[in-house]
Amino acid sequence: MTIHLRKLCVGAESIDDLSRYIDKRVAHRKKAGLSHTHAHETRMWPKREDELLDGGSLFWIIKGMMCVRQPIAGFEECFSGEGIRYCRILLKPDLIQVDPRPHRPFQGWRYLKPEEAPRDLSASEQNMEPELARDLAELGLI
């Protein structure tokens, strides 16, 4: 059974900001001769790893709105310079916009059940600002 993760995207002002950040990180990794995969490092290793690898995504919360997801490609163990163990969440490069929904801040990451995950936006909805898409959907216009 599939499960997802949700995580605050600290420092990003928009989906475009996140996209530019990912592009810079991947370019830096290429230049350093590392894997071209975008990854997010976290202290905690998910106990439900198999369910996350069964089609799970990391849903990013930007400026209080859950608005985009990235499919999870895998997990790697890594260590800090001080020898502290981390979990590197390997992410596919796709940023898939979802029906924006407000979300309160929290620390770390949390699981997200598939039935609670927002739906992916259609191609026409993706060109809109997340707040506008949400408002139009609430009015039944999209």
Taking only the tens place, the pLDDT of each residue in 99-113 is 888 899 889 899 999
Distance CA 81, CA 129 (A): 40
Q: C-alpha 124: how far from its chain's center? A: 21
Domain boundaries, the chain: 4-38+54-74+92-138
Is the per-residue pLDDT at 133 higher than 80?
A: no
DSSP 75-97: EEEEE-TT--EEEEEEE-S--EE
Taking only the tens place, the pLDDT of each residue in 35-50 is 778 889 999 999 999 9
